[in-house]
């Protein structure tokens, strides 16, 4: 059964955050709230957790996993960004966007898109995520918690616990969170392509 942690939405309790991060470091898979619905999270090198995410969401090999980063400096260690892309991303982070970019050698090969050698990155605007990343000290391997057959992410912690009780190790619940998935922008060829319209405003990325 998953450990259920009720956390404050603005000032998350350090003990709860430490419990979740301890589970991550022990190879666990967590479900946590973001500014765009719930997400599944694990340590970058955790192949077992990646396989569990794939099973829960029924994903294929072409799925872009996301590196959830604490800030722009951390993001820059894992993706290649030119000046124009830098300005565009900087202006919209933190926020409900996922950006697909060419990966650096810091990203484990098995997390890359098999043909494009790209990875998704994002910097969420949510106190619980910021607390998790600060305690962990590195990005989270993540995927939006959209169940098979659904178009929107799960948004209620207790429902996540009830649905995935034997498939995840920890569920953090901070009350209401965003109800739309992230807007996905593909910058892999240097220009913006809107892949998915979600919570983030897209007008600045359209010609």
Q: Which residue has the tokens 């404050």?
A: 8
Residue 159 Ramachandran class (φ > 0 left, ψ -120 to 50 alpha, else beta): alpha
Q: The domain containing residue 126 runs over which residues? A: 3-205
Distance CA 131, CA 66 (A): 18
Residue 166 pLDDT: 95
Q: Which residues contact 195 (CB under 8 A, 6 or more apart)?
A: 100, 184, 185, 186
Residue 207 pLDDT: 63
Distance CA 114, CA 102 (A): 12
Residue 192 pLDDT: 92
CATH of the domain at 164: 3.90.870.10
The total domain count for the chain is 1
Each residue's pLDDT tens digit in the chain (207 positions)? 999 999 999 999 999 999 999 999 999 999 999 988 999 999 998 999 999 999 999 998 778 789 999 998 899 899 999 888 888 889 999 999 999 999 999 888 878 777 788 999 999 999 999 999 999 999 999 999 999 999 889 999 999 999 999 999 999 999 988 788 899 999 998 889 999 998 899 988 876
Calculate the alpha carbon distances from 158 to 13, 111, 165, 191 in Å: 18, 29, 10, 40
């Amino acid at each position: 059964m998953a450990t259920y942690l009720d956390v404050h939405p603005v000032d998350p309790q350090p003990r709860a955050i430490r419990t979740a991060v301890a589970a991550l470091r022990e190879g666990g898979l967590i479900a946590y709230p973001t500014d765009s619905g719930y997400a599944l999270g694990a340590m970058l090198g955790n192949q077992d957790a990646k396989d569990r995410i794939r099973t829960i969401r029924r994903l294929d090999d072409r799925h872009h996993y996301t590196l959830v980063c604490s800030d722009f400096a951390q993001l820059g260690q894992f993706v290649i960004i030119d000046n124009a892309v830098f300005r565009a991303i900087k202006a919209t982070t933190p926020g409900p966007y996922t950006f697909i970019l060419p990966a650096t050698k810091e990203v484990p090969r098995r997390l890359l898109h098999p043909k494009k050698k790209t990875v998704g990155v994002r910097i969420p605007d949510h106190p619980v995520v910021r607390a998790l990343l600060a305690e962990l000290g590195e990005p989270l391997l993540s995927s939006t918690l959209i169940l098979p057959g659904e178009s929107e992410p799960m948004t209620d912690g207790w429902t996540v616990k009830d649905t995935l009780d034997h498939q995840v190790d920890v569920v953090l619940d901070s009350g209401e969170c965003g109800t739309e998935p992230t807007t996905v922008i593909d910058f892999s060829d240097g220009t913006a392509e809107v892949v998915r319209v979600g919570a983030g405003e897209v007008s600045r990325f359209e010609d």
